[in-house]
Every structure is written in structure tokens, then in C-alpha cells.
Amino acid sequence: MHLVLASTSPYRAALLEKLAIPFAADAPETDESQRDGEDAASLVKRLSAAKARAVGARHPNALVIGSDQVATIGAQVLGKPGDRERAIEQLCRASGRAVVFYTGLCLLNTTTGHTQVDVETFTVRFRELGADQIERYVDLEQPFNCAGSFKSEGFGITLFSAFEGRDPNSLVGLPLMRLVEMLAAEGIEIP
């Protein structure tokens, strides 16, 4: 049985490489739109499972990992900004506040159909940031494809005052601690 990451994210692939097990990556090509009335936890659970199923259909006899992430301020879901203006807007809203990240994780065994789905949360507390600081950061790191408009593994660390959560890897997009537990349930022990 081989391991497949249902993602083309270089960040998720780099995290999975930490476990030192061989894997392939495959693009899930799923609609990531939020449904009316869908909260952040429900959204990432649904999308992580949908990604795993989409890729799993092409990979028999595999364990497929699906993951999805959104950031929230209060009940408002922040997606990937896509451009400079939206990134600046998101970071201005985050300044001095707590941003909660919801990361959905699914492990699908395509041989048995057994599916494990969970959500990990991680909170980032932002420092009070000035407009100049935010613009310099966005121009330096260009975090346009990152939920919440920052890269914690890069220069984004300078924006925060505190972290709260079980697994810092979930902030980057793949909760490795929970994944190791899911893999153990499928008979794969790491290390």
C-alpha cells in the first residue's frame, strides 16, 4: 500500500517529508467553495474528505491524505487572499487580534474504504501592526496563496505575539501529530 498526498502544496509536501516515508502527490481538483451556513470546521472536514476521495479514485490500494485549511477572525472565514490588496486587508483585520486556523485532515484507505476525518485548531495572536509594517511584510513575502495572508515558517513569525495549539505543523497546513495517529490506526507505525 502506498501513501498519496492529495495536494500540490509545496508546504504540505515539505511537512510530510519530515516523517521520512515515501509518498506521491496528486492534485485533487475539487471545488473549495464554502456552502451557505457552513462553519469553518465543517468546511475543512468536508473539503479534506472530498480531496482524499477525488485522488483516491485514481489510486487503488493506497492511503490518501486530504487536508484543507481556513483562517477565521471571529466567525468570519478568511480564505487565501489571492492578491496584494486582499492580503493587506486581511492582515489589517488581524492586527492585535486572535486568528484561529482550522485544518481538516482525512486519511482514506482506498482498499477498505475506511476513512478517518478530523479537524485541528491552532490560534495565532497578532501583534498590533502598523500599515507600513503590513505592506512591507506583504511585499517581502507575497503570501497570496496562504490562508490568513502569512507564512509562519517564513518572515511571518515577526507578526505574532503568541501561538496556542497542539501541533504547530497544523498552522502550515498538515497536522502531523494527528496524521501519525491516523496512520497507526492503519497499521503504519512511525518511527
Query: CATH fold of 2-185, please?
Result: Maf protein (3.90.950)
Cell triple for 102: 482550522
Burial of 106 (0-12, 13-18, 19+ CB in 10 A): buried
Sign of CA dihedral 131, 70, 139, 160: positive
Angle, helix 176-185 to helix 10-17, in steps of 10 degrees:
60
Catalytic residues: 68
Domain spans in the chain, listed from the N-terminal domain onward:
2-185
**pLDDT string in tens for the chain (191-residue length):** 899 999 999 989 999 999 999 999 999 989 989 999 999 999 999 999 999 999 999 999 999 999 999 999 988 998 889 999 999 999 999 999 999 999 999 999 999 999 999 999 999 999 999 999 999 999 999 999 888 899 888 899 999 999 999 999 999 899 999 999 999 999 999 99
